[in-house]
Amino acid sequence: MRVYIDSSVFGGYYDKEFAEPTRDFFQAWMLGKILGVLSGTLVRELEDAPERVRDLLRRALEREHEALEVTAEATRLSEAYLRAAVLTEKYADDALHVALATVARVDALVSWNFRHLVNPLRVRAFNGVNIASGYGVVTIMTPAEIVKILETQDED
């Protein structure tokens, strides 16, 4: 399973509310149950994060992962989200995360950002733009949901 990881997941690793499922998610990545997909946008967003979050990113970049760079195609799609008012310009990086995940055709984008990403109304709006632009749908889930899927697969 190829999973695009946004910056909130790295912060969630140290957040009391999200730490356990986030750590389970990272453990699944370490065990090779998922392939982390990381972007230059993620790396840029975490440049000013607390040291422990930057250290987690450094360790993640040493693991097997797929690296995505921002492309003109992803930029155009993110701009289409902004024109459609899925998000405002203030949250252009969130739109870019979704565009990168969509263009890369990942299995899921994983996030703890309930306001802008893990939100059924926004997902519907992102996917409306995706379909109108000739792309497939994007699936946006929490790390806990990914872990639950993996546990269910292990039971089969």
Q: How far is CA 13 from CA 16, 138, 152, in A?
A: 8, 24, 23
**Residue 86 and residue 67: Cα distance in Å, rounded?**
26
Instruction: Report pLDDT digits (tens) over 57-88.
Output: 999 999 999 999 999 999 999 999 999 999 99
Look up the CATH number of domain 2-155.
Answer: 3.40.50.1010
pLDDT tens figures, 124-150: 999 999 999 999 999 999 999 999 999
> Are 12 and 22 spatial neighbours (Cβ–Cβ below 8 Å)?
yes
* DSSP SS3 for 134: coil
State pTM to two decimals.
Answer: 0.94
pLDDT for position 153: 80
Are 140 and 108 in contact by the 8 Å Cβ rule? The answer is yes
